[in-house]
């Protein structure tokens, strides 16, 4: 379980019992394993060792600055999609020359902020964005380094809500228009073309969609060269999946081998934007049982976490493994595990077989390191969870739980 294991029937993160963390910090609580984070980062990075490359960790997956700092110390760059993520990456010790700025809706303010920090490049998602970047760069008397994000119309074989490389998705520039848009970019005096970018989706568990997209990108690269456009960087995005239940995604080694085979004789720096594959299984979400109840149809376990704390099941119907903090003997029962929020989508599991549960038991929700806290909210005026990082037998509070004062800190009653 990636350094989350039972020891004498009690769940541990590395060398620290979860019960100790719960006692000190309460619930709902995010707990991350530092050893897992570093192991996953290094496994991904080393898979591309034979070729020039930059790992740009995808900040959106988990944006806590303590975690970003861990990766920055390993030499990681960052893939960002907002001014806020740029601010976090810099504050965490990130090198601006290893930061790529993706996303379909960059504002002038964000473009200016990124140019002032001298980031590696913008992944441009539309022709109108290209002109906006050129205009801001002109005003600042700078040249903006760009790649175009190409939408290759490849089916990533993943959940439709996290697919980004099909024609019907909002992301990127259509493959058919790519050359024409590059030629327009070439004429702009405050634009420097440095790369090609492609990202087809998230939680992808097969190699074939990646390889299909790469073949299209390589064909485009040759066409660009015929038109006098040389690029330094090929950004292949992220999207490699993890195992939540019974998925069998390729190991980063397998992915690396297949990708590098296609770039054997191509002297370009490859950029990768892994997120979930590094942090997903490095975190758990711990919650306390408040009540159990049943009606003629169902048995429910009501916990103190809710969809505002971990939104993935409510958003995508996602599966997360759930285990009790303390192992229990006896027969299992079948429950819906639900939260206190006033929505029928506020659940973590439906019809899940679990040991018989009662008030003040604790549950560990696994694979919560990616898109867990980073997607959380204060809906129903609920306070956001605390976050804890474990390193061996030591642990660190890396985000305090919200206070009630935090909930209204920015609000004003007019006189």
Structure tokens at 333: 């029962």
364 catalytic per annotation: no
Query: Residue 171 — very low, low, confident or very high, per pLDDT cuts 50/70/90?
Result: low
Domain end point (choices 225, 259, 277): 277
In a domain, 141, yes or no: yes
318 inside domain: yes
Tell me, yes or no, whether 106 and 218 share the same domain: yes
Q: Is position 291 within any domain?
A: yes
- pLDDT score at 195: 97
Q: What is the CATH number of the domain that holds 386?
A: 2.40.37.10
**Above 90 in pLDDT, residue 2?**
no
List, for residues 126-158, the tens digit of each pLDDT value. 999 999 999 999 999 999 999 999 988 776 554
Q: Which domain holds residue 93?
A: 34-277
Q: Return d(Cα 14, Cα 33) in angstroms, integer.
A: 7
Give the chain's domain count.
2
Residues 118 and 197 in one domain: yes
Is the pLDDT at 208 greater than 90? The verdict is no
Check whether residue 257 and residue 270 sit in a common domain: yes
DSSP conformational letter for 27 = S
260 & 370 share domain:
no
Do 133 and 272 share a domain, yes or no? yes
Q: Which of 14, 18, 6, 37 is nearest to 282 (CA)?
A: 37
Tell me if 103 is assigned to some domain.
yes
Of 394, 354, 78, nearest in space to 238 by CA: 78
Domain final residue, candidates 223, 256, 277: 277
Q: Is residue 414 part of a domain?
A: no
239 and 300 share one domain: no
Mean pLDDT of the chain: 93
Over residues 118-127, the pLDDT tens digits come to 999 999 999 9
Same domain, 103 and 136: yes
- Give 82's pLDDT tier (boundaries 50, 70, 90): very high
373 and 232 assigned to the same domain: no
pLDDT tens, residue by residue, 290-335: 999 999 999 999 999 999 999 999 998 999 999 999 999 889 999 9
pLDDT tens readout for residues 39-56: 999 999 999 999 999 999
**pLDDT bracket for residue 239 (50, 70, 90):** confident
SS3 253: helix
* Tokens read off for 116: 């002032």
DSSP 78-110: EEESSHHHHHHHHHTT--GGGEEE--S---HHH
Tokens of 38: 């570093």
Residue that wins the pLDDT comparison between 367 and 201: 367
Residue 247 pLDDT greater than 80, yes or no: no
Cβ-contact 280, 340 below 8 angstroms: no
| Residue 377 and residue 401 in contact, taking contact as beta carbons nearer than 8 Å | no
- Rounded to whole angstroms, the Cα distance separating 88 from 170 reads 26
Q: How far is CA 353 from CA 64, 133, 285, 308, in A?
A: 33, 53, 19, 24
Are residue 94 and residue 235 in the same domain, yes or no? yes
Structure tokens at 45: 């990075």
Residue where a domain terminates, one of 254, 277, 300: 277
Within-domain flag for 347 = yes
Instruction: Verify that 336 and 259 share a domain, yes or no.
Output: no
Catalytic residue among 13, 56, 342, 364: 342
Work out the average pLDDT over 398-408: 98
Q: Which two tokens stand for residue 352?
A: 């899940």
Residue among 316, 172, 345 nearest 244 (CA): 316
Q: What CATH number has the domain bearing residue 80?
A: 3.20.20.10
For position 243, what pLDDT does the model report?
81
Q: Please report, for the chain, how many H helices and E strands are present, in that order.
A: 12, 21
* CB atoms near residue 364 (< 10 Å): 22
The pLDDT of residue 163 is 40
Lowest-pLDDT range of 137-146, 252-261, 285-294, 344-353: 252-261
CB-CB contact of 165 with 174 (8 Å):
no
């Amino acid at each position: 379980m990636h350094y989350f294991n039972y020891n004498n029937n009690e769940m541990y993160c590395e060398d620290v019992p979860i019960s100790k963390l719960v006692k000190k910090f309460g619930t709902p609580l995010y707990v991350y394993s530092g050893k897992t984070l570093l192991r996953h980062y290094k496994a991904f990075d080393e898979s591309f060792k034979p070729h020039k490359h930059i790992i740009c960790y995808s900040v959106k997956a988990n944006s806590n600055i303590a975690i970003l700092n861990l990766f920055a110390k390993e030499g990681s760059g960052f893939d960002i999609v907002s001014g806020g993520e740029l601010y976090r990456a810099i504050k965490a010790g990130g090198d601006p020359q290893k930061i790529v700025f993706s996303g379909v809706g960059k504002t002038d303010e964000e473009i200016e902020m990124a140019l002032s920090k001298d980031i590696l490049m913008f992944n441009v998602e539309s022709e109108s964005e290209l002109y906006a970047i050129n205009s801001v760069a002109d005003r600042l008397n700078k040249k903006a380094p760009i790649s175009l994000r190409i939408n290759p119309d490849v089916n990533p074989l993943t959940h439709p809500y996290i697919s980004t490389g099909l024609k019907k998705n909002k992301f990127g520039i259509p493959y058919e228009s790519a050359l024409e848009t590059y030629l327009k970019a070439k004429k702009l005096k405050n634009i420097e073309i440095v790369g090609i970018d492609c990202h087809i989706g998230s939680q992808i568990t097969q190699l074939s969609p990646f390889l299909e997209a790469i073949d299209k990108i390589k064909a485009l690269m040759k066409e660009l060269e015929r038109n006098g456009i040389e690029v330094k960087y090929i950004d292949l995005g992220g999207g490699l999946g993890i195992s939540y239940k019974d998925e069998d995604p390729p190991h980063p080694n397998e992915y690396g081998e297949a990708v590098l085979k296609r770039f054997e004789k191509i002297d370009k720096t490859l950029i990768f934007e892994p997120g979930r594959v590094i942090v997903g299984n490095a975190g758990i979400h711990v919650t306390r049982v408040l009540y159990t109840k049943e009606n003629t149809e169902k048995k429910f376990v009501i916990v103190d976490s809710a969809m505002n704390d971990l939104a993935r099941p409510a958003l995508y119907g996602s599966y997360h493994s759930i285990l009790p903090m303390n192992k229990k003997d006896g027969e299992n029962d079948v429950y819906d595990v639900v939260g206190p929020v006033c929505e029928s989508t506020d659940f973590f599991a439906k019809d899940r077989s679990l040991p018989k549960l009662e008030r003040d038991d604790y549950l560990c929700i696994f694979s919560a390191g990616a898109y867990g806290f980073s997607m959380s909210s204060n809906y129903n005026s609920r306070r956001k969870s605390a976050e804890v990082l474990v390193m061996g037998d030591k642990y660190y509070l890396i985000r305090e739980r919200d206070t009630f004062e935090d909930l209204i800190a920015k609000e004003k009653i007019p006189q």
